[in-house]
Chains A and B, each alone.
Chain A
Amino acid sequence: MSKEHRAMNPSKPQSIDKNTLIRNMIISAALLAGFGGLGTTLVVGTFELTKDQIEASEEANLLKNLNNILPASIYNNDLLSTHIKVPADSLLGSDKPVNVYQAWMDKTPVAVAFPVIAPDGYNGDIHLLIAIKASGEISGVRVIAHKETPGLGDKIDINKNDWILSFNGKSIANPAQKLWRVKKDGGVFDQFTGATITPRAVVKAVYRALDYYNANRRRLFLDQENLNKYYHAAMRGKDSKE
């Protein structure tokens, strides 16, 4: 195909005279602009028509993901709009501020959900989403993205294996810290045949998330304004200390 294009290359071998040049340019520009405008109008029109639906779908999707680890029955606030940004923390494995979703039942805080990164997967970072009930008990964990070896490390994915459900109901003290490990290292969590690294990394990350939760429990239920105030104060405190 390509070759024929080349061979058939339309040739316009006129001598370059200024008038035709300008006329040519203008016609081309007008035509192209016309079609550009037409096309864009089509897209813009479609966009206007689908805008709301897109937003709704986005939200529904996010909510569905959250509800997988946070049963809709335990809270009654608008989960999606109730979130705060907390500063990066090494326990969360992230160097960017992290979104924390808060679940409330009426005025009582019920649970929070936030992403965690396990940096020591076999082939790279493992991105997790974890929900922790106010009691410190894990409500659910899911793997959002990972690069583990297919067929070996990818059993952490709920679509491949139920292993990730084994965190449900666990908390920082249950089991004891020494047992927050894979079985091979003397803990309570299974590893997969031939792949210890991955589960080890996930277990560690989940434990760190619990650690983080316990250290920041109160702050995680603040609203953004108060949280910011708190951090400002903390910063200032730090500054003055130095």
Chain B
Amino acid sequence: MSETISDTFGEDNIETQTSLIREYTPIAKDGLWNNNPILVQMLGLCPLLAVSNSVINALGLGLATIAVLILSNMCISLIRNIVRPEIRLPVFVIIIASVVTAIELVMHAYFHELYLILGIFIPLIVTNCSIIARAEAFASRNTFGKAAFDGLMMGLGFTLVLVVLGAMRELIGLGTLFANAHIMFGEGMQWLTITVIPDYHGFLLAILPPGAFMGLAFLLALKNYISLKQKAAKKRQKSPLPETV
């Protein structure tokens, strides 16, 4: 898979605007949909399932992950020509670990409650498989700008799924959205919390571990459904046309 990606985005840079768009749109599409780290690559599942029990938690970890992805992709892209294959993995891991720790410290300082809630899953961003996968598959083969953009897009793709799953679970489990908004946006933002279903019984399954698995299953099924529909539509479009080689 990695090979095909790097093939698509070769090193030749003609800095015209159209070529920029041509080069960067697929990266964005890949990150958000076609090669989404969760929906397609099935990587980074641990944090996804562990912290998606509310929107705010999801958002918090998602943002941290985006930051790590961008920074680590940038660093790795910079050093990509120096590293020898046998220590490639350890070097990447060290870089990622450094970035993560730095971000962890910042969160510890400025988003204390969020830091406490996310707990072990912040340092565990290091082993979030999608980060090392991006380092290997993309950053180590692409230019700085593209690597950074890829980091952003992959991170966004990850966060998007994380937040959607968080919203799903929070809504079904507790009937609210954005509960505890203050731990992220400060005390003034309590109002953000929306009680969508008043007097809701609460469906605990959604909040508990099994609910995380099942929620993701339904998200994936939805993605499959959309992809299938797209494919069917494409086929329908294609078939009346004569075969051109």
Q: Which residues from B are CB-within-8-Å of A1?
A: 1-2, 41, 43, 133, 137
Bound Cα distance from A109 to B82, whole angstroms: 65
Closest B residue, CB atoms, query A45: B102
Q: How far is the CA of A40 from the CA of B208 in the complex (A)?
A: 37
Are B108 and A57 in contact, with the CB atoms below 8 A?
A: yes
Are B82's CB and A31's CB within 8 A?
A: yes
| A35 with B108, Cβ < 8 A, contacts A12-B86, A43-B102 known | no
Interface string of A40-76 (1 = CB under 8 A from B): 1011001100100110011011000000000000000
Q: Is A28 an interface residue (CB 8 A)?
A: yes
A1-B133, A60-B112, A150-B208 known; A31 and B83 CB under 8 Å?
yes
Residue B228, interface by CB 8 Å: no
Does B101 have its Cβ within 8 Å of any Cβ on chain A? yes
Q: In the complex, which residues 79-117 of chain B have their Cβ closer than 8 Å to any Cβ of chain A?
A: 79, 82-87, 90-91, 94-95, 97-99, 101-102, 105-106, 108-110, 112-113, 116
A40 touches B98 (CB 8 A): yes
Interface of A is mostly: helix
Rounded to whole angstroms, the CA-CA distance of A42 and B137 in the bound complex is: 25
Give every chain A residue within 8 A of B202 (Cβ-Cβ). 151
When the two chains form their complex, are residues B94 and A32 in contact, meaning their CB atoms are under 8 A apart? yes
Q: How far does the alpha carbon of A85 sit from the alpha carbon of B43 in the complex, in Å? A: 46
Q: Does any Cβ of A come within 8 Å of B226's Cβ?
A: no
Candidates B2, B87, B112, B133; contact of A32 at CB < 8 Å? B87
Nearest opposing residue in chain A for B82, CB measure: A31
Write the chain B residue with the least CB distance to A11.
B85
Q: Size band of the B side of the interface?
A: 35 or more
A133 to B79, CA, bound (A): 61
Contact in complex: A54, B98 (CB < 8 Å): no
On chain A, which size bracket covers the interface? Answer: 20 to 34
Say if the beta carbon of B214 comes within 8 Å of chain A: no
Q: What are the interface flags for A3-26 relative to B under an 8 Å C-beta threshold, 1 for contact and 0 otherwise?
A: 011000010100000000000000
A87 in the interface (beta carbon within 8 A) = no
A54 touching B91, Cβ below 8 Å? no
The answer to whether the Cβ of A39 comes within 8 Å of any Cβ in the partner chain is yes
User: Is B207 an interface position by the 8 A CB rule?
Assistant: yes
Any chain A CB within 8 A of the CB of B204?
Answer: yes
Bitwise, B109-153 to A at CB < 8 A (1) or not (0) is 110110010000000000000000100110000000000000000
Q: Does residue A36 face the partner (Cβ distance < 8 Å to B)?
A: yes
A27 within 8 A of B: yes
Contacts of A42 in B (CB 8 A): 98-99, 102
**Smallest Cβ-Cβ distance to B2: which chain A residue:** A4
CB distance from B203 to the nearest CB of A (A): 9
Contact of A31 with B105 in the complex, beta carbons under 8 Å? no
B105 in contact with A54 (CB, 8 Å)? yes
Contact of A46 among B91, B94, B106, B207 (CB under 8 A): B106
Residue of A nearest to B71 (CB): A42
- From A31, A40, A50, contact of B106 by CB (8 A): A50
Given A57-B109, A60-B112, residue A28 in contact with residue B102 (CB < 8 A):
no
Name 30 A/B residue pairs within 8 A (Cβ), A-sorted. A1-B2, A1-B41, A1-B43, A4-B1, A4-B2, A4-B3, A10-B86, A27-B84, A28-B84, A31-B84, A35-B79, A35-B91, A35-B95, A38-B98, A39-B94, A39-B95, A39-B97, A39-B98, A42-B98, A42-B102, A43-B98, A43-B101, A46-B101, A46-B102, A46-B106, A50-B108, A57-B110, A60-B112, A150-B204, A150-B207
Closest A-B pairs by Cβ, 6 of them: A39-B98, A53-B109, A57-B112, A50-B109, A46-B102, A10-B85
A10-B86, A43-B101, A43-B102 known; 12 other A-B pairs, CB under 8 Å?
A1-B41, A1-B133, A4-B1, A12-B85, A31-B83, A36-B94, A39-B98, A42-B98, A46-B106, A54-B109, A150-B204, A150-B208
Residues of B within 8 A of A (CB): 1-3, 41, 43, 79, 82-87, 90-91, 94-95, 97-99, 101-102, 105-106, 108-110, 112-113, 116, 133, 136-137, 202, 204, 207-208
Query: Interface of A with B (CB < 8 Å)?
Result: 1, 4-5, 10, 12, 27-28, 31-32, 35-36, 38-40, 42-43, 46-47, 50, 53-54, 57-58, 60-61, 150-151
